[in-house]
Amino acid sequence: MSPGDDGAKGDFKDKQFEQSEVADKVVEQYDEEHARVFYKYVMGGGGFDIHYGIFRKPSDTVYEASKATNDRLLTCLDWTFPVTKESYVLDLGSGHGGISHEIAKRFGCKVMGANISPEQNKMNLEEAEKLGVGELVDVTLTNFNDGLPEDWTDTFTHVISCEVLCHAASKPDLFQELKRVLKPGGAFVFTDIMGADGANEKVLKDFTDRNATTKMARPSEYLSLITEAGFGEASFLNFSPHLVHYFQSMVDQINTHKSAMLDEGCSEQYLSKW
């Protein structure tokens, strides 16, 4: 670090934590006991998917909406480059393994998760065994902000990621790493939490402060990063209209399961942030 360099740069300029703290913040968000309880009840709806959902009808549950997101993501992956039993998919930020399990079940191919949380990785592999896809699903404990394993170069036919890139310390560096580990002609499909082009970052601050990220990327930024990293043609689908339904569903889940969550370790202060 050069003299006068305080470590705050890029997305971390004048933000609530430093670039070097990203990994600890992510583990804190997802791996601490109260966080696991929250995600189980509120975002997972009792399942292994802790991401935002797509609503086919207003009455869909959080669980159903999350599964609909998985379905569309996997369909896009297969559209971009057909997934076969011979494919090898990298699930970046695999969490509890919900998407890894569905890839293995739907396509019968091998999936490697890359994930920073030991507890989530344990749950991932245990659930894969229960589902009968244990021989197809594996996971590597890794902090992708330190780079991906060197021996993964040109290894994967597909890379998939669901609401994980927001935690990247350097998105340009991560995209270069993903290009390195993806075989030529392979497919990279992801969803992420983004701010609209032109959105005021101050308005988004409450959200970014509690989500182990400092600045949400914009669609135009991601499209540029994809091109600059050397990937082929990029396309973008906007599912933001579903967020209003999902946020209301989160509030409903908190109200319904609040007593159970308090009993299992969540605090009033933690729940009140949502």
Backbone angles phi, psi at 113, to 5 degrees: -85, 150
pLDDT at 3: 31
Is the pLDDT score of 46 beyond 80?
no
Average pLDDT over residues 228-249: 85
Tens of pLDDT along 98-124?
999 999 999 999 999 999 988 889 999
- The whole-number average pLDDT for the span 24-52 is 70
- Token digits of residue 267: 């605090």
69-79: average pLDDT: 94
Question: 3-state class of 86 per DSSP?
Answer: coil
For residue 181, name the pLDDT band (cuts at 50, 70, 90). Answer: very high
User: In this predicted model, what pLDDT tens digit does every residue of 162-176 receive, in sequence order?
Assistant: 989 988 888 999 999
Distance CA 117, CA 95 (A): 7
Find the helix or strand (DSSP H, E) in which 13 lies: none
pLDDT tops 90 at residue 177: yes
Question: Beta strands 182-191 and 88-92: pairing type?
Answer: unpaired
Counting residues of the chain whose pLDDT is more than 90, the rounded percentage is 44
pLDDT at residue 199 in the model: 75
Of residues 40, 19, 20, the one with CA closest to residue 31: 40
Q: Which residue has the tokens 């990937």?
A: 231
pLDDT of residue 11: 47
pLDDT of 270 strictly over 90: no
Amino acid at 110: K
Asked if 176 contacts 226 with a C-beta cutoff of 8 angstroms, the reply is no
Q: What is the pLDDT of residues 133-146, one digit of tens each?
A: 999 999 999 999 89
Question: Three-state DSSP class for 116?
Answer: coil
Q: Of 9, 5, 4, 38, whose CA–CA distance to 214 is shortest?
A: 9
Residue 1 has pLDDT above 60, yes or no: no
What angle (nearest 5°) sits at the alpha carbon of residue 228, between those of residues 210 and 23?
30
In this prediction, residue 208 carries a pLDDT of 64
**Residue in 66, 118, 71 with CA at minimum distance from that of residue 95:** 118
Token look-up 């913040």 returns 25
Higher-confidence residue: 165 or 58? Answer: 165
Max mean pLDDT range (11-15, 46-50, 83-87, 244-248): 83-87
Q: What is the DSSP string of 34-83?
A: HHHHHIIIIISTTSS--S----SSTT--HHHHHHHHHHHHHHHHHHHS--
With tokens 């569309």, the residue in question is 72
Summarize the confidence of residues 76-81 as an average pLDDT: 96
Query: What sign has the CA pseudo-torsion 198, 200, 201, 206?
Result: negative
- Tell me if residue 182 falls in helix, strand or coil: strand
Mean pLDDT, the chain, whole residue set: 84
Question: 2 pLDDT exceeds 60?
Answer: no
Distance of CA 208 to the CA centre of its chain: 14
pLDDT at 23: 60
- Residue 76's pLDDT band (boundaries 50, 70, 90)? very high
- Look up tokens 């399990």; give the residue: 101
Residue 213 above 90 pLDDT? no
> Within 10 A of 125 (CB to CB), how many other CB atoms are there?
17
Residue 206: the pLDDT is 65
Per-residue confidence (pLDDT) for residue 113, from 0 to 100 = 98
